[in-house]
Amino acid sequence: MVAEPKDVLKDYLQGARDVLLWKLEGLSERDLRLPRTRAGTNLLGLVKHALNTEVLYFGPTFGRKWRTPEELVSHDDPDPLSGWYATENETAAGIVDLYRRVQAFADETIDALPLDAVGHVAHWGGAEVTLHEVLVHTTVDLQRHAGHADILREQLDGSTGLLPRNSNVPDGVDWGAHQQHLRTIAERFV
């Protein structure tokens, strides 16, 4: 049986969502919040960014409003990076709960509209888009950030892989020996 295009798109979107949330599992509030890059990228901030992205693209773009806008990053916030980290008043559990509610909200939009439904993205100058385009755009964005989360989590505690039940990483690898092998190759180039 061939899957419907919208079902395929939703499946890939959900896969990206699942990876982002899995990368948070078992970590302390501190570990989730600590900046791991020069730009301050952190695991909880990636999820906060994802939820704000989804509510925007699957809400106002298609004429829907989020019921409690005070839960989201305001466009009037003077901190241009406020969508990339949890504030002192936000908790990991609260952000995860909010993201799950945002996912349900986004899925309502996706389920209610055909792929060729037209919306307008305000921060793209009101550009006209279809639901299909928004699904692809959002999935690509979330997959990109899921890749960031993969790297941050591996650096934090060595956890690797796609999902806890399907890591897609070979078993039995001597990672130290593998790294040394790669260093040896790299050192041949000056």
> Per-residue pLDDT tens for 133-158?
999 999 999 999 999 999 999 999 88
C-beta of residue 119 within 8 angstroms of C-beta of residue 130: yes
pTM: 0.92
Q: Is the pLDDT assigned to residue 3 strictly greater than 80? A: yes
Angle CA(25)–CA(70)–CA(117) in degrees, nearest 5?
85
Q: Which one, of 14, 22, 50, lies nearest residue 162 by Cα?
A: 22
Distance from C-alpha of 72 to C-alpha of 95, rounded to nearest angstrom = 10
Q: Kindly report the average pLDDT of the chain as a whole number.
A: 93
DSSP 3: P
CATH number (domain holding residue 34):
1.20.120.450
Q: What is the pLDDT of residues 13-32, one digit of tens each?
A: 999 999 999 999 999 999 99
Place of tokens 């004429």: 63
Q: Which one, of 156, 62, 149, 136, lies nearest residue 99 by Cα?
A: 149
Going by pLDDT thresholds of 50, 70 and 90, the confidence category of residue 162 is confident
Number of separate domains in the chain: 1
The greatest distance separating any two alpha carbons of the chain, rounded to the nearest whole angstrom, comes to 58
Three-state secondary structure call for residue 137? helix
| Number of other residues whose CB lies within 10 A of the CB of residue 125 | 7
Q: Is the pLDDT assigned to residue 165 strictly greater than 80? A: no
Going by pLDDT thresholds of 50, 70 and 90, the confidence category of residue 53 is very high
Q: Which domain holds residue 169?
A: 5-187
